[in-house]
Amino acid sequence: MTVYEMYADIDGEAIDSAEDNILNSEAAFDLASNAVKDMTRARQTIQHAHHYFQNALRTYDAIRGPLSKTIGSFGEMGRRNDYRECISFSRRAQVCLDEYFRVMEGYLYTLPEDRRADHDALKVLGLMQIQKISNLLFGGSLMTSAQRTTASVKVMISKQEKAFVHLTALAVWVQDRVPIVEQEKRLAETARNTSRRELAALWMTSLS
């Protein structure tokens, strides 16, 4: 049998279709694999952001509350040091949140409407309210009235509390999202393997 005769009975159209299926399934698997990697990274970074920001809020609550005298040294220098600790936690939280934003750029379409609202709100609010509170308390002009400073601090506290609510809701969603993309990857892998077997079967049938 000549080479021409060997391949004369091959269903070229079916082969082409099967090869297209393989290309599509390979692409889908690659996308699913990248989604798992990126969402795992998003989960890690937003959980770290939540952890650091929660520590900042707890420290700030202690500074403001009855336990303030047990934190740091007494006097203004001690208060400044306590605020620096809060700022340090908040800065770490912001770095982690920024990395989350970077990772999620290609997946914003997966966010449901309410979580997208949380995402966008955090973009605006950020997690550095304590820095602004510290500036108001220790870096303000002598001409700024205590009443005005107190009002401005209250605004920052409100924004800080809102940021924590948004951050918590988003962190929970990302946590729940990871198993979903992992399942999607498993399904994509199954589909890819099936398309490979189908192409191999077509070739074997055509050559038998």
pLDDT band at 208 (very low <50, low <70, confident <90, very high): low
Mean residue pLDDT across the chain:
85
Inter-residue contact 195 to 22 (CB < 8 Å): yes
pLDDT at 201: 74
Q: How far apart are CA 192 and CA 188, in angstroms?
A: 6
Output the pTM of the full model. Answer: 0.80
What digits encode the pLDDT tens for the residues 166-198?
999 999 999 999 999 999 999 988 878 787 777
User: In degrees rounded to 5, what are phi and psi of residue 10?
Assistant: -70, 130
State yes or no: pLDDT of 61 exceeds 50: yes
Full DSSP string of 38-62: HHHHHHHHHHHHHHHHHHHHHHHHH
What whole-number percentage of the chain has pLDDT above 90? 58
State yes or no: pLDDT of 48 exceeds 60: yes
Residue 199 contacts by C-beta under 8 Å, 6 or more apart in sequence? 15, 18, 19, 21, 22
pLDDT at 176: 98
Find, among 162, 181, 167, the residue nearest to 107 by Cα.
181
Q: Which of 17-21, 52-56, 68-72, 73-77: highest mean pLDDT?
A: 52-56
Instruction: Give the mean pLDDT of 125-138.
Output: 93
In this structure, the chain runs to a length of 208
Find, among 160, 180, 190, the residue nearest to 42 by Cα.
180
pLDDT band at 5 (very low <50, low <70, confident <90, very high): very low
State yes or no: pLDDT of 1 exceeds 80: no
pLDDT band at 206 (very low <50, low <70, confident <90, very high): low
Q: How far apart are CA 92 and CA 187, in angstroms?
A: 37
Inter-residue contact 45 to 208 (CB < 8 Å): no
